[in-house]
Amino acid sequence: MKNKYFNTAREAVDALVKDGDVIALAGVSSSCVAKELAFATEERFLETGSPKNLTIMSTSAPIDGINMFAHDGMCSRAILGHFNSNKAFMQFVADNKCKCWNLPQGLLAIMYRSASAGEKGLLTKVGLGTFVDPRHQGGKSNEITTEDLVKVVEMDGEEYLWYTVTAPDVAFIRGSVADEKGNVSLGDEMYWADAQYVARATHANGGKVIVQVRDYVKAGSLAAHDVQIPGILVDGIVTTKDVEKFHRMTPGTRFSKYLLGEEKMPDVLIHSAPKPLDERKIIGRRAAMEVKAGMNINIGFGMPEVASAVMTEEGVANHITLVVEHGLVGGVSAPGERFAVHVNYDALVDEPSQFDFFHSGGIDISMLGNAQTSQRGDVNVHKFGKLPSGIGGFIDIVTATKTIIFCGTFTAKGLVEHVEDGKLVIDNEGSIKKFVADLPEISFNAGYGIKNGCRVMYITERAVFVLTDKGIMLTEYAPGIDVQKDIIDCMDFTPLISPDLKVMDERIFRPEKMGIVDELELD
């Protein structure tokens, strides 16, 4: 039996990583993310100047998960899904220090599966008409990135995008336990993420799979059903030197049976005090009113997260299924935790399989953030100024969701509002308009949404719009709001006005519960 164990992360990196390698960094959030290996790679480069000219790949880079590669000469190419939590690397890309392609998170995860089967590309409609379409930016994040990794092809009279698959030379993966044969359990990882397929893709390419684990045990100690990455795929095992730092379930939690799904969290711990009645809750309440019993719901990062809290507060959460793109099915948002951390969930699946479900139309409603909207109804959520932030799973999610609800305040920067006597009062208007004439780049293409039969809403604290084939239409406004002064004059364009324009439901602007659970069509 070949000895795959290395005493330190640095030993493994010294032995298995070389100049010019493509390194696939597995994981999402804190799950399956081998930061100790990444730091060891940085340490070696700063000491020796090697490994240099690396390509890094990550579906969803965690907090400070790729910043250690932001050194001149160390990283020359990057293929990333989301990297907004890595400011140093964002600046590295903005300064043209390395080539960078920003592609949909779900497609990147699925491309590992394609690479594991020896496939050279991925054919899909995901991304058509958006900034990853080569007729727009092709996913290129800066001026020095010129090579096309995406091209348009036609088949049977329909357009598709062909994404070139990049096969990894090295995989960095975090597991929970490994045995002497290299078998790896992800048993204490909140998500399995893309870990298994990163390993398979790297192995299929003749590369090296390195796994950082918390515990190392004798061969035969792991139950076969507890092994997610078989030892035949693994080349190196490293035991962490700092469990507290490098093996946390989330940034705020080292370990929790609730987060792992081994124990159900009592309702008394889940139900916190009601959210204050501010602009965020107004938006969350209006979005929650679109939900029907039995729906599969996806909640995006930021503003839409309040809708999840509202549904819990109103008792609606018990009658729907929340689906997290990273791999969780069911449950409710964990109190005090970051985005996409659930308790009391029903199932955990790998990331590529979860995105298959999204791409095939399995989601009834997605509630997503909204930074900028054009008159046509296109949305931008990823491009602000010079720093690229990454699209994440946004494009994957909007492609086949039946109803999309974009959530965000009407203006930004300096906006101050309050609710008084059931009416919305604007104390200070935001200085940045969010309904604009032109978008720097397109995250959601309204034309493709209409073509696909998607129902689209744009919910703000003072106005509700719907997408039509002629552009966005104002359908509702908040009590206390002047439509001309507070809505139209704060836009770069005049929207269509519904002939049935009405005031938003007054319950939204009252402190007591709305009682929307009583309106669900329960079996």
> Which residue shows structure tokens 């299929």?
204
Give the other-Cβ count within 10 Å of 461's Cβ.
Answer: 30
DSSP letter string, 92-131 = HHHTTSSEEEE--HHHHHHHHHHHHTT--EEEESTTTTST
Question: What is the C-alpha R_g of the chain?
Answer: 24
Locate tokens 């298995």: which residue?
A: 16
* Longest Cα–Cα distance in the chain: 76
- Residue for token digits 């000895």? 3
Percent of the chain as helix, strand, coil, to the nearest 5: 25, 30, 45
Residue 459 CB coordination number (10 Å):
27
CA distance 419 to 281: 11
Residues annotated as catalytic are: 325
Before 51, cis peptide (omega within 30)?
yes
Which residues on neighbouring strands pair with residue 374, listed in sequence order? 436
* Packed helices 195-204 and 105-116: angle between N→C axes, nearest 10 degrees: 40
Question: How far is Cα 139 from Cα 159, in angstroms, rounded to an integer?
Answer: 18
First to last CA, the chain: 58
Mapped onto helix, strand or coil, the DSSP state of residue 310 is helix
Neighbouring C-alpha atoms within 13 Å toward the C-beta of 128: 19
Which helix (H) or strand (E) is 258 found in, with range? helix 257-260
Single out the residue of 324, 321, 318, 343 nearest to residue 333, CA to CA.
Answer: 343
Q: How many CA atoms lie within 13 A of 266 on its CB side?
A: 2
According to DSSP, the residues that pair with 348 across neighbouring strands are 328
